A = this chain, B = another copy of it.
Amino acid sequence: MSLRDEAAAGPRPPPPGSPVAVALDLGGTNLKGGLVGPGGTLVGLGVRETRADKGYESVLGSLAGFVADLRAEAQRRELTVVGLGVGTPGPLNRAAGIVEFAPNLGWSQAPLAGDLARLTGVRGVRLENDANAAAFAEAWVGEGSGARCLLGVTLGTGVGAGLVVGGRLFTGATGVATELGHVIVRPEGRACRCGSKGCVEAYFSAWALVERCREHAADHPDHSLDLARLTPEDVFDASLRGDPLAGPVLDFGLRSLALALAGCLNLLNPDRVVFFGGLSARWESFGPALVEHVRTRSLPAAFSATRFSASKLEWAGVLGVGGLVLSQTPDL
């Protein structure tokens, strides 16, 4: 696949002479990339297949090739590349540049930053958790522009989050903060993929919505779902049709997610909560019910300070990791 420059149709490109970051957003299916300039300007945007099934070395080669193409693009446009950032799923060791665990890629303890630096000649490759990167993008140029404390929440295969306080990413003492997906909302609840039980991700995530419909199908024999080929989108659609299985599963999922978000409001007191990730495409249908559940479970002083919305940024992951490379402000 060749680079797909969307500058003409969509985002503004950085003017010649600008500093830019080479930014890559590595997902289980797609690898997105582009050059990110001041003010969230974007150019050289492209999407390639990750092909994680071909193994770490092959993905590494694809990343390095993408970087080379973006550097050539920067040269053509007279842009100065100041760094390289990669958004990745899973917990990271930022200091060592290691992706500790990324089941969707089949990686464990992958020394990605060092390998990419070696292959591309770029020093100081920045790795960032993809939810953190997207949250940073929202605070920078998206829904939360001007927010004092923005919580970005990924709703997709898993549940993740990122927190941006006064324009700085909050990463905690050892870089593993805002792991929202494994906050426990049902102490005696169902097993989560992480080995614990009752995690919010075990109730509201792409996999959990499908699994819970299968688990409860026998209780609602009049349901209309094709359980063998069920997708989370089917669960949303069926719920809107009044399906007796999908409706309660989705509602319980939303109530569970609301408990975790209410905890976030009480502890973090954000003024903006922005949702992204695959399931957030259905925000219009589930958002109002979710927010109402959060209201009943959080302190009024915290709830009243918060506005909730879905992301409108198409390239949040790329923008975020690029913005973090461009930003000279250290993380919190």
Contact = CB atoms under 8 A, between A and B. Distances in A.
Nearest to A100: B301
A262 to B, nearest CB: 6
DSSP class of A's interface residues: helix, strand, loop or mixed?
loop
A261 B161 CA distance: 18
A300 to B, nearest CB: 9
A170 interface: yes
B267 A174 contact: no
A244 interface: no
Contact of A91 (B100, B170, B297, B301): B301
Interface stretch (A79-87, A112-120, A181-189): A181-189
A227 interface: no
A271 B171 CA distance: 12
Contact of A269 (B173, B180, B266): B173
Interface string A295-316: 0110101100110000000000
B268 A174 contact: no
A128 B179 CA distance: 29
B269 A184 contact: no
A263 interface: yes
Interface of A: 91, 100, 147-149, 161, 165-166, 170-180, 182-187, 194, 196, 255, 259, 262-264, 266-271, 296-297, 299, 301-302, 305-306, 332
